[in-house]
Each structure stands twice: as C-alpha cells, then as structure tokens.
Amino acid sequence: MTPSLEIKNLAFEYPDGNQALFGIDLVIQKGERVALLGPNGAGKTTLVLHLNGIHETQHGEVFIAGIKVDGENKETLKQIRSQVGIVFQDPDDQLFMPTVEEDVAFGPYNMGLREKELAAVVDESLNAVGMLEFKDRPPHHLSFGQRRRVAVATVLAMKPEILILDEPSSNLDPASRRELAEILEKLNITVFMVTHDLPYAYELCERSVILSKGKIVADDSTKNILGNEQLLKSNRLELPKGFKI
Amino acid sequence: MTFLAKISILVLLKRSTIEIPFILFAFLMPFFGTGETIKWGVFTLYEAGLVAGLTLILKGTIGVMLAILLSTTTTAREILNGLEKLKLPKLLVQIATFMLRYVNVVSDEMFRMKIARTSRGFDAKGIKDWKVLGHSAGSLFIRSYERGERVHLAMLSRGYIGTLPKVHHIHPERKYLAFSMLLPTLALIFTLIDRYINS
C-alpha cells in the first residue's frame, strides 16, 4: 500500500543562511499515528510546512499518498493541500471566518463543494469533534478547548489523507486535553503529531520520531523512546516528574 | 420605521448622541457668511448659512438614524453579505470580514498588555509616558502583522482560492424588495413634483 507520507532526504535552508533541516528520511504508513518529538528550534515547524508545499522543497522529495509535493505544479499542489490537514497551534490563526460553520466550510468550498454537499460535510466534521451545536457561534465566544476542536474539524472537512497536529495539547485544561485525545483516537485517520507533551504522545501514538538540530535522531516505538532516559536527555526532552512508562 | 423595527426610542436617542458635535457646528453656520441677512431678535443671520445649516442638520440626522436602524436590526455579518451582493469589491469585503473576526482578538491582546503594564506599576499620567504606550502600540502592531502572516498560511493550507465560502444564500421575498423601494420611490416623486412646480 502507498504510504500516507514519504520524505526522502529533505534539506532546507532559510534565506538568511540558517539551515533548518539536514536530510530527513521518514515514512508513515496509512492509519499510523506518529509523534514528532523534539526541543524548541529543532525544525519541527519547518518540516511540517514542507508537507503541504508552503515551504518549497529545496533538496529532497516529499510524497503524500504517492503524489509528489511540488510547488511548481499548481494542480497537484491543490490536491496535496486538501490531503494534508494541518491543525496549527493557535486556533485563532486557524479560525479566521466570522462563524464556526463558515470556517469549517472554507476548505471544502475551496475544493469545489457547494450547497447541500458543503452543508453535509460541515455537519459531519463538526459532529466528529462534538461541536455541531456551536455551528452558528463566532469562534471568539468559544473556550480554548472548543476552538481547538473546531480547528480539527476545519481540516477534517477536507477529508485529508493525513492529519498533522502542531502541539495539539498546548494550553488545554486537563479535561479538554483528554476530550481531544478521545476524539483523535476515534478518527481512524493517519496522524502526525508534533508535540513536547510526552505522555500525550505515549497515549495516542504507537510510534515516535525525535527531530533534533534538523536531523531525525530516533525512530522507534513510543514506549522504547520514552523508556530511553539517556536518549531523551541528550535531546532536551523530559518526562514529567513521577511519570513512569 | 423605528416602530416597525421594534427598537425603543430610548436606544435610538442614546445612540444618536454621536451627532451632537456636528449639530453644534451646523448651528454656528448661519452666523458666518456673506450675502443676504435676516434679523432675528438680537442676531443677524446669513440666509445662505441658515439654509446650509438646516440642510446639514436634516441630512445628518437622517443619515445617523438610518445607520442606527441598520446596525441595530442587522448583524455585522449580514451587512457584509449585503455589501458583497451590492458588488462591493470582494477584496474589501474580505478585509472587512477579517476585521470583524479579529477586532476582539486584537482588543483582548491590547487589554492583556495593559494589565501587564499596570501589574508592573505603570500608570500613564503625562506626555513622558507616551513612549511606553508607543512601544505597546508598536508591539501590538507587529503581533497583529505576524498573526496576519500565520492566518495567511492557514488559509493557503486549506486551499484558499480567492473567495470566501457562503453557506447560507438569502433570497429576500418580493414584498421586502418592494417595501425597500418605497422610500426611494417617494423621494423620486417629490423631486419630480418639485421640478414641475419650479419650471
């Protein structure tokens, strides 16, 4: 089966000469949930922005469900962007329309859905994250946890091949954090989750990779990685005090 | 119309206080000018100024009343939809839509910055404190600018094609259209009658 995500020898240098990625290789199979762990400044966000062609690939290749991410090719780029659902860290960046409903409609509308089909997709996605009753509300009136859930719905509405979450548990209270985990577990979709929240990665992802200084330094089961204290320590990662695998 | 729109007179009066400075200005107009004058008690009024002042007050009041009616009966979102239907350039409508979405986000941010300033003992008293306020305004601007960039990224990631989706299509009934033509039609008739009499 074609993997959901395949990255081959990806390298990237910012215009100011600062190199962020040094030859990344990674394959994520369909249906897998993988956590991307790494300290601040490891290049996690840079990597994520390569996956839907926001950053153009300078060196190496990225494939989504077998299709090459190519900034030059507008047609495939459009397809790629509908297949890679990125949930950004700050829901206020992601929810830019005046109401929840319109925001969830934004993606599928751009893909060409209209009228009844559009409405059906919006309802289905909001239902999947348990936010259907908040359809007509402006995002500003929702709690942070609710906004994050709506943000997940906005990308689910595009029926992505792979769901990419940037720090999904950040700023959530414990109950919202758990509710989001329950929702994600139910989704039955390939997930690539960028996080520092190691227990969250343990709870949701079978497999983890550690990105450090622009390189993948570990790729193993989350259990093995989190159990390797030396490995975590050398990459500025720590389990919360008292947490045992 | 106020009655039809079910707005209380009190709300209307309260909101129309915004007009007061303009009215004061209009009251001054008859006292300055050239040309024909009219004696009124101890005052000497200029006719041209009097007419101009009165029309200014009338036009202003009608304008303010209409704006109040529109804003109390129609949500900002509906007004934007309406503007789009009236063929206001899409880009302007989109900018206004984003303004509507982010005005609260930015004002919250501003408020948090104010709390942070006050918590560290800052109290804006005079001109020398403006520097601090200027820095705050500057960083608020940069934050908003950066947010704009992130929002743009989020839009591209969801395949932005230059238009925002419309979920609900509102097709007003005929009677509403007819009703909304009532005032313009009346105005047209009066203008025509006026022309006819004066010619």
- State pLDDT tens for residues A213-225: 999 999 999 999 9
pLDDT of residue B1: 61
- pLDDT for A115 equals 85
pLDDT digits (tens, 9 = 90+) for A188-213: 899 999 998 999 999 999 999 999 99
What average pLDDT does this structure show over A82-98?
A: 90
Helix axes A115-128 and A100-110, enclosed angle (nearest 10):
120
User: Do A52 and B165 make contact, defined as CB atoms within 8 angstroms?
Assistant: no
Q: Residue A78: what residue type? A: K
Distances (CA, A) of B170 to A67, B83, B86, B173, B182: 40, 13, 13, 9, 21
- ipTM of the complex in this document: 0.75
Tell me the per-residue pLDDT of B134-149, one tens digit each, with 9 for 90 and over: 888 999 999 999 999 9
Query: Alpha carbon of A239 to those of A117, A150, A201, A223: distances in Å?
Result: 45, 29, 11, 12
Q: From chain B, which residues contact A within 8 Å (Cβ)?
A: 76-77, 80, 97-98, 100-102, 104-105, 147, 150-151, 153-161, 163-165, 167
Separation of alpha carbons A172 and A182, rounded Å: 14
Report yes or no: B164 and A102 within 8 Å, Cβ to Cβ: yes
Contact B101/A111, CB-based, under 8 Å?
no
Q: What is the pLDDT of residues B30-53, one digit of tens each?
A: 777 777 777 777 777 888 888 888
**Total residue count of chain A as it appears in this document:** 245
Tell me how far apart the alpha carbons of residues B84 and B100 are, in angstroms, rounded to a whole number: 15
Exposure string for A90-123, b = 16+ CB within 10 A, e = fewer: bbbbbbbbbbbbbbbbbbbbbbebeeeebbebbe
User: Whole-angstrom Cα distance, residue B149 to residue A93?
Assistant: 9
* pLDDT surpassing 80 at residue B6: no
Q: Please give the pLDDT value at position B3.
A: 62
β pairing state of A5-13 and A19-28: antiparallel
3-state secondary structure of A27: strand
pLDDT at A26: 95
Whole-number Cα distances in Å, A59 to A9, A43, A71: 7, 15, 13
Sheet containing strand A33-37, edge to edge, reads: A84-87, A162-166, A190-195, A33-37, A207-212, A215-221
In angstroms, rounded to a whole number, what is the distance separating the alpha carbons of residues A135 and A121? Answer: 13
Identify the residue with better confidence: A46 or B45.
A46
- Comparing CA positions, the residue from A32, A40, A108 lying closest to residue B158 is A108
Average pLDDT over chain A, rounded to whole?
Answer: 92
The pLDDT score that the predictor gives to residue A129 is 94
Neighboring chain B residues of A154 at a CB cutoff of 8 Å: 158
Query: What distance in Å separates the CA atoms of residue A99 and residue B138, rounded to the nearest whole number?
Result: 29
Position B60 scores a pLDDT of 86
| Inter-chain touch A102–B100, beta carbons under 8 Å | no
Q: Which residue has the higher pLDDT, B6 or A77?
A: A77
Q: How confident is the model at residue B199 (pLDDT cuts 50, 70, 90)?
A: confident
- Alpha carbon distance B81, B170 (integer Å): 9
Rounded Cα distance, A108 and A122, in Å: 8
pLDDT of amino acid B165: 84
State whether residue A218 is helix, strand or coil.
strand
Contact A212, A227 (CB under 8 A): no
Residue A233's pLDDT is 93
Q: A22 — phi, psi (to 5°)?
A: -125, 80
Q: With H, G, I as helix, E, B as strand and everything else as coil, classify residue B2.
A: coil
Task: Determine the pLDDT at residue B17.
Answer: 82
How many Cβ pairs within 8 Å bridge chains A and B? 82
Two structure tokens written together for A137:
């509300």
B164–A107 C-beta distance less than 8 A: no
Q: Residue A87: what pLDDT? A: 92
User: What's the confidence (pLDDT) of residue A61?
Assistant: 93
Q: Looking at beta carbons, which residues of chain B come within 8 Å of A102?
A: 164-165, 167
Give pLDDT tens digits for B60-109. 888 888 888 888 888 888 888 888 888 889 889 999 999 988 998 899 89
Q: Average pLDDT for residues B175-190, to the nearest whole number?
A: 86
Question: What pLDDT does B49 receive?
Answer: 81
- List pLDDT tens digits, range A113-158: 888 999 999 999 999 999 999 999 999 889 999 999 999 999 999 9
| Tens of pLDDT, residues A159-172 | 999 999 999 999 99
How far apart, in whole angstroms, are the C-alpha atoms of residue A226 and residue A218? 11
Measured between CA atoms, the residue of chain B closest to residue A50 is B157
Rounded CA separation A49/A211 (Å): 15
Residue type, A91: P
pLDDT recorded at residue A9: 94
